[in-house]
Amino acid sequence: MIGALVVTFVASLLLAKELGTLGAGGGFLGMSTLAYAVCGALDPDAPFDARQAATWFTYAFLHGGLFHILMNSMSIHQLGRMLDALTMPRNVYMAFLAGVLGGAATVELWAAIQGGRHAITVGASAGACGLLGALLALTYKARGGFFGELRKELLSSTILLVIIGFLPGISGAGHVGGLIAGALCGLVIRKRGSLRFPNDPLTIIPDALTSLVGAACLAAVLWFAATAPQDAKLLRTAKPVLRCIGTFSEWLDPSAPRPSAADIDEWVVELDGLNAPRTLRPIVADLLRLAHGSGLLDGRTPDPAKTPEMRAAAETLFKRAAAVVDDSGWFVTPR
């Protein structure tokens, strides 16, 4: 699990660099809110669709800086080792995933109750709380000896966790939801015991659910890994493409002053260096062809007879680019 957290953290930093927002967040190696949204942060204000459902998993693999991922990784490592020692390795994954989903559900529910705008949620702390909740459920009857002392330590950690949840920038709802979901998961683990009985439904059903939820989590992460780079390119290049089309259309206006050679060179350099996503690449290519055909790039004055036709073509390119931007949803839904 910790390896997955580290890999996705590094990948998110590369995407933030693509967007030019690396270091824009509150912590060291943090990102902007938009960069987190592209990478799969949980946004309780976004409409619930397939993408939003995927963020119920992916938000746990994103972190608000180096300190955030270090703290969560240490918590998961320590709590996971304790739960692994008490039960079975698969139960660790089951409790972690239960915490992640429980935290996401509670964040959404709390946002719906409060109303208004809410911050995005990132981090695996809900999963860590799931591990803590499972340990509490397994040791809640212990009164003496090793397990009694462990129970006291876990209760102290729980109280500290609740207090931390009230701090600014901390998702208290996510912590509480993860803790409750993990405790329920721990009760299931306690009920079925720590041994495997192949024909016991108390063993088969939770294991099957864990496998299904784990597969859904992997699919969600892979989906964002495939779509996020293109989304990042679109967000970085959409406005420059629209601006270049608008500038070219202005140059075709007979009443406007002719652009200087330096203006034209700057325009070409900006357009060539955009590294546009595949959805905008044909539009950029058509714009360059139209610009070459106008003669402006060669220092010639456009043919007045063809100017209306070229301006209409530029307007069509602008509409095509705007349609791509609108279809993406990034410039329509505020994030």
The answer on 302 and 185 residing in a single domain is no
Return the percent helix, strand and coil in the chain, to nearest 5: 70, 0, 25
Measured from the Cβ of residue 318, the count of other Cβ atoms closer than 10 Å reads 19
Tokens of 314: 């530029």
The answer on 318 and 241 residing in a single domain is yes
CATH code of 53's domain: 1.20.1540.10
The answer on 81 and 162 residing in a single domain is yes
Q: Which domain holds residue 246?
A: 229-328
Q: Is residue 47 part of a domain?
A: yes
Tokens of 310: 């070229």
**Could you give the count of Cα atoms lying within 13 Å of 37 in the half-sphere of its Cβ?**
18
Q: Is residue 200 part of a domain?
A: no
Give the residue carrying structure tokens 């060291």.
28
Please tell me whether residue 121 adopts helix, strand or coil conformation: strand
Q: Is residue 289 part of a domain?
A: yes
Q: Is residue 97 part of a domain?
A: yes
Residue 107 burial class via C-beta count within 10 angstroms: exposed 0-12, middle 13-18, buried 19 and up: buried
The answer on 235 and 189 residing in a single domain is no
User: Digits of tens for pLDDT over the chain (335 positions)?
Assistant: 777 787 777 777 777 776 665 555 555 666 667 677 777 888 888 777 777 888 888 898 888 888 888 888 888 888 888 888 888 778 888 899 999 999 999 999 988 888 767 778 888 899 999 999 988 888 877 666 666 667 777 777 788 777 777 777 788 889 999 999 999 988 888 776 654 444 455 555 566 666 777 777 778 777 777 777 777 777 778 888 888 999 988 888 888 788 888 888 888 888 887 777 778 888 888 998 898 888 888 878 888 888 889 989 999 998 888 888 776 665 533 33
The answer on 179 and 53 residing in a single domain is yes
pTM for the full predicted model = 0.69
- Final residue in a domain of this structure, among 195, 221, 239: 195
The answer on 156 and 17 residing in a single domain is yes
- Rounded to whole angstroms, the Cα distance separating 256 from 262 reads 17
Q: Is residue 83 part of a domain?
A: yes
The answer on 248 and 132 residing in a single domain is no
Q: Comparing C-alpha atoms, which of 238, 257, 226, 224 is closest to residue 320?
A: 238
* Residue 96 host element (H or E): helix 89-114
Count of domains forming the chain: 2
Q: Is residue 333 part of a domain?
A: no
- Rounded to whole angstroms, the Cα distance separating 268 from 260 reads 13
The answer on 241 and 179 residing in a single domain is no
